[in-house]
Structure 1
Amino acid sequence: MSETGNELSITRYIDAPITQVWDVMANRQEEWWCPRPWRVEVEEQDRRPGGICRMTMYGPDGETAPQDGIYLAYEEGRRFVTTDAVTGDFQPSGPFMIGIWELEPEGSGTRYTARARHWREEDRKMHEDMGFTDGWSACAEQLAEICEREKA
């Protein structure tokens, strides 16, 4: 894990081409987005700046964690950026973070980096205490497993 200001981040090399990693990262989120045994259901994704990004995570003991926000950026094949500070109908929300998921080519594979930028130090600390490093690293591992298993 890396920490800069109120940012938390993880990075991982994935031994698969960037086009394949992007396809799984952007189009198959139900397979890797949250650490097992949690699961996610993608409800709506309007992949453009200002577009809705809505999904719900479900825990093994009946927990639900709705995620309702918008895309701030969507660069096909490279990165997407979301925030929960604003909902899909441009209503203010209790801001927690800006999430950035990006890919860069590295050798014959791909460098995956995920960042969570928080407005306040206490939000960053809460996210860290919730298990950011273990959780987001597990998601990166799940993404890598799919990509490396299916590598062409």
Structure 2
Amino acid sequence: MAGFDPPEDKVEGLKVGWKAYIYKSSIVRCSNCERSHPMPATEENQWEFTVERQLPLKRWHAYRVAVDRMEEWWWHPSSRPVTEIRIGMAAGSPFKAFTDNSSDVQEGIVLSVRPGWFFHITDALHGGMRPATPSMVGSWTFGSATGGFARHVARIRHFSEADYSRNLDRGLERRWNEAADKLVALCEEGIGAIKRHRV
């Protein structure tokens, strides 16, 4: 889908203004992620919230870990943990997340995918292209970084300020950072972390 393939130089530009420090084998994390955004969330940028991490695997391998082990890092504002995600990694495929009691807590579709580089999901549509109540578009991108690492950017944009405020109240800022940290930890397991149960 047009408009959902950010060039690498644009992704790189998100680093402007970030203060970072090095920890755990040169993994980069923003020192102010818990408190601020790379840019103010406004109507012009669709009330965007972004986190960024450097992952200790090559880009393709980091992407595979993110896709194959999505249940282990995914966050949804439910009182119960997400334990199963059903997703087809192709544009138009349905997406569903379930909790440990098999409740369906999140539904949407995959907007676009470039294997090894990015995937985008929205809750504006459900399976079968059924209209739903829209609140967000999420994107997860993977670029190449120096030293054989991957640069990962997770971005969520909202359809309204009310949607953005509601997600903040649910813990978006803290939980998206926690999700990114979980993905870093999974990638630290190395290539053996890849399970390859999703295409």
Deviation at 1:28, TM superposition (A): 1.3
Contact 2:124–2:135 at 8 Å: present in 1 too?
Answer: yes
Aligned equivalent of 1:76: 115
- For the 8 Å contact 1:97–1:119, the answer to whether it is kept is yes
3-state DSSP of counterpart to 1:89: helix
Q: Give the alignment partner of residue 70 of structure 2, picking from 14, 29, 34.
A: 29
Q: Which amino acid aligns with 2:88?
A: D
User: Which whole-Å CA distance do the structure 2 matches of 1:110 and 1:57 have between them?
Assistant: 30
Between 1 and 2, higher relative CO (CA 8 Å, sep ≥ 6) is seen in: 1
Which structure: greater strand fraction?
1
- The letter for the 2-side match of 1:12 is R
For 1:34 and 1:121, the matched residues in 2 are separated by: 21
Separation in 2, partners of 1:105, 1:97: 26
Contact between 1:69 and 1:85, CA under 8 Å: does it hold in 2?
yes
Structure 2 residue corresponding to 1:124, chosen from 146, 164, 167: 164
Which stretches of structure 1, 4 residues or longer, exceed 6 Å deviation after superposition?
none
Output the TM-score relative to the length of structure 1. 0.86
| Matching residue within 70, 93, 98 for 2:137 | 98
Q: Are the equivalent residues in 1 in contact too, given 2:82–2:97 (CA < 8 A)?
A: no
How far off is 1:135 after superposition?
0.4
| TM-score for both structures, normalised by structure 2 | 0.67
Q: Distance in 1 between matches of 2:57 and 2:68?
A: 16
Aligned partner letter, 2:162: E
Please state how far the C-alpha of 1:53 moved relative to its aligned partner: 1.2
- Unmatched segments (≥5 aa) in structure 1: none
Mapped to 2, the partners of 1:119 and 1:92 lie a distance apart of 14
| 1:14 aligned to which of 44, 47, 55 | 55
Q: Secondary structure at the match of 1:128?
A: helix
Letter in 1 for 2:181: E
Is the partner of 1:149 in helix, strand or coil? coil
Given that 2:63 and 2:142 are in contact with CA atoms closer than 8 Å, whether structure 1 keeps it comes out as yes
Q: C-alpha displacement at 1:96, in angstroms? A: 1.1
Deviation at 1:38, TM superposition (A): 2.5
Point out the structure with max Rg over C-alpha. 2
Aligned length: 147
Q: Percent identity at matched positions?
A: 27
Alignment-mate amino acid for residue 184 of structure 2: A
User: In the alignment, is the contact (CA less than 8 A) between 2:112 and 2:119 conserved in 1?
Assistant: yes
Deviation string for 1:63-90 (max 9, x for gaps)? 9561111111011001000110110111
* Partner residue, 1:53: 95
The amino acid across from 1:25 in the alignment is A
Deviation readout 1:108-149 (Å, 9 max, x if unpaired): 211111111101011111111211111011111111101112
* CA offsets 1:20-59 (integer angstroms, 9 cap, x no match): 2111111111222138x8233113x22211111112245x
**Preserved CA contact (<8 Å) 1:79 1:101:** yes
- SS of the aligned residue for 1:42 comes to strand
